[in-house]
Amino acid sequence: MNDRRTLLEGIKPAGSALPPPLSPEERRFAFGDHAEQAKSDTKTLVSTRIRADFAKALKRASLQRQLEGVVPNTLQEILEQAIEPWLKANGYLS
């Protein structure tokens, strides 16, 4: 079996110690949007788990609202709208 190489090692010219500089498109492909997100301090990503029945109902609501053209219709928007009143009522948001 061949040894695994990184994507950057695979694109460097033969005999070259360093790979050529990546274009913005190549950088997004190789590293995803994580490089761009790391530069931005405007977004903080949070990941959590919820009960399976909540997840199923939330996904169903999201898809149905998207088909009907009702806003909010993404999981993100629905969760933000649901959580915001609780955060405000408990003094975590002004």
Q: What is the pLDDT of residues 12-22, one digit of tens each?
A: 666 666 667 77
Would you say residue 85 lies in a domain? yes
Would you say residue 27 lies in a domain? no
Would you say residue 71 lies in a domain? yes
First vs last Cα of the chain: how many Å apart?
Answer: 58
- 74-88: average pLDDT: 95
Q: Please state whether the predicted TM-score (pTM) of the whole model is above 0.75.
A: no
Would you say residue 73 lies in a domain? yes
In which domain, by residue range, is 69 found? 52-89
Would you say residue 13 lies in a domain? no
Q: Indicate if the pLDDT at residue 34 is higher than 90.
A: no
Would you say residue 19 lies in a domain? no
Our count of domains for the chain comes to: 1
What residue has token string 């694109």?
11
